C-alpha cells in the first residue's frame, strides 16, 4: 500500500509524510497538500471527469465518517479501488480530532462563507485554509463537481441518516442528486431556503458544486461505531469514485423531504430552550408549544403543522442557531 494512504494516521499523529507525492504503476497519483489534506488524481482527467470532494472531521469527535474516508483512501492506496474521479480528501479539524472533541474554541462549521474573516483563532484560520483547498480543487470552470461533507450528530435521531441541501438564490435543488442520496442510504433531506455558513454551503454557493452535509448517526469515539451502518453509503461512494455508478433517474421514493420553517437564534445568556436534554432530532412538536424564550420577552411558539425540531443546542454562542424548526416539503420546487 502507498504510504500516503495512511492520511488518518499522519493527521492523528501530527506528522508530515516523508514523500509528499506517490504514484502507482498505472499512473494514479496521491499528493499530500497539507495537514489532513490529500489529492487523488487518475491518469486521465478530461472535461467528463468528476471532481469529488470528501470531507469529514469538521467536528473532531465525529469519528464514523472519518473512519469511512480512511477506509476508502486505504483501499485506493492498495489498488482495491481504482478511481476514475479526481478526489480531494479533507480531515477538517485535526486538533479537535486529536483531542477527541467537537471543537476546541469555536465551531468550525460556523466559520465558512467568509465568517472566518470576522473571527480569530486557529479554527478561523483552518476554515480559511479549507476554503482555499476547495477553491483550488474546483478551480477549472464547467467541470462536474460534487462535495459530501460527512458528519454525525450530537444527539440521537428519529431519522438516523439524513442530508442538508444548501441554498443559493436562483439555483434549484436537483431531483437527480436527491435520487443519488436515496440510493446511498439517506432517509431524509432538508431543503434549505437561505444562505448558510457551513462548509457545504460554501462549496455550493461559491464554487458551484453540488454539495451536501450528510448526518450519519450519533457521534461516538474511534473504534466504537459498530451501530453506525454506512454500508450503502460506502457502496455508492465506491461506485461514484470508480465511475461505475448505476444509472440514476429522478425517482427518490421513500426519501422524506423537509424545509426550514424557522431558525431559533440564541440572542443572550438568558436564552432558554423548553426541550428535554435528550430529545432526538426530528421529534414532532405540537402547535402552540412554547419552544424557547430569551430577553425582551422574545418567545418562539410552534405555529406550523407537522413541525419537527433538529439540532437543538442551547449551549451555542450568542448570535448562533440553537435549533431548526422544520416542516414536510412536497418537493414542488425541484428541478
Catalytic residue numbers? 215
Residues in the chain: 335
Residues pairing with 157 in the sheet: 281
Residue with cell 436562483: 170
Phi, psi of 84 (to 5 degrees): -105, -15
- Contact 311/279 with Cβ under 8 angstroms? no
The residues, ordered by sequence, that sit 6+ positions from 41 with a Cβ below 8 Å of its Cβ are 28, 29, 31, 86
Q: Classify residue 67 as exposed, middle or buried by CB count within 10 Å of its CB (0-12, 13-18, 19+).
A: middle
**Rounded-to-integer distance, Cα 210 and Cα 215, Å:** 16
**Rounded-to-integer distance, Cα 260 and Cα 311, Å:** 12
Q: Is 51 annotated as a binding residue?
A: no
Q: Is 62 annotated as a binding residue?
A: yes
Residue 260 DSSP SS3? strand
* Binding residue ranges for Zn(2+): 59, 62, 151
Amino acid at each position: 500500500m502507498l504510504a500516503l494512504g495512511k492520511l488518518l494516521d499522519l493527521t492523528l499523529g501530527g506528522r508530515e509524510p516523508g514523500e509528499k507525492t506517490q504514484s502507482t504503476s498505472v499512473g494514479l497519483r496521491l499528493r499530500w497538500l497539507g495537514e489532513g489534506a490529500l489529492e487523488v488524481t487518475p491518469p486521465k482527467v478530461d472535461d467528463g471527469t468528476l471532481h469529488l470532494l470528501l470531507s469529514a472531521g469538521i467536528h473532531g469527535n465525529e469519528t464514523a465518517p472519518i473512519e469511512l474516508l480512511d477506509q476508502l483512501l486505504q483501499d485506493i492506496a492498495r489498488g482495491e479501488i481504482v478511481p476514475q474521479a479526481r478526489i480531494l480528501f479533507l480531515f477538517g479539524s485535526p486538533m479537535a480530532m486529536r483531542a477527541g472533541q467537537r471543537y476546541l474554541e469555536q465551531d468550525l462549521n460556523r466559520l465558512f462563507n467568509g465568517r472566518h474573516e470576522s473571527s480569530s483563532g486557529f479554527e478561523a484560520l483552518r476554515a480559511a485554509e479549507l476554503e482555499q483547498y476547495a477553491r483550488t480543487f474546483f478551480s477549472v470552470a464547467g467541470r462536474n463537481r460534487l462535495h459530501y461533507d460527512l458528519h454525525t450528530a450530537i444527539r440521537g435521531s428519529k431519522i438516523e441518516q439524513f442530508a442538508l441541501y444548501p441554498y443559493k438564490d436562483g439555483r434549484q435543488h436537483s431531483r437527480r442528486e436527491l435520487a443519488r442520496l436515496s440510493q446511498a442510504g439517506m432517509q431524509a433531506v432538508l431543503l434549505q431556503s437561505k444562505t448558510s455558513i457551513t462548509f457545504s454551503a460554501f462549496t455550493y454557493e461559491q464554487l458551484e458544486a453540488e454539495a451536501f452535509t450528510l448526518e450519519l448517526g450519533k457521534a461516538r469515539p474511534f473504534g466504537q461505531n459498530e451501530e453506525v451502518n454506512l454500508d450503502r453509503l460506502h457502496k455508492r461512494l465506491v461506485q461514484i469514485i470508480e465511475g461505475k455508478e448505476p444509472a440514476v433517474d429522478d425517482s427518490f421514493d421513500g426519501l422524506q423531504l423537509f424545509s426550514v420553517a424557522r431558525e431559533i437564534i440564541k440572542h443572550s445568556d438568558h436564552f432558554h430552550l423548553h426541550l428535554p436534554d435528550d430529545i432526538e432530532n426530528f421529534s414532532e412538536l405540537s402547535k402552540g408549544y412554547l419552544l424557547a424564550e430569551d430577553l425582551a420577552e422574545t418567545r418562539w411558539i410552534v405555529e406550523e403543522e407537522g413541525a419537527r425540531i433538529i439540532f437543538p443546542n442551547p449551549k451555542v454562542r450568542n448570535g448562533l442557531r440553537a435549533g431548526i424548526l422544520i416542516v414536510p416539503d412536497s418537493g414542488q420546487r425541484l428541478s
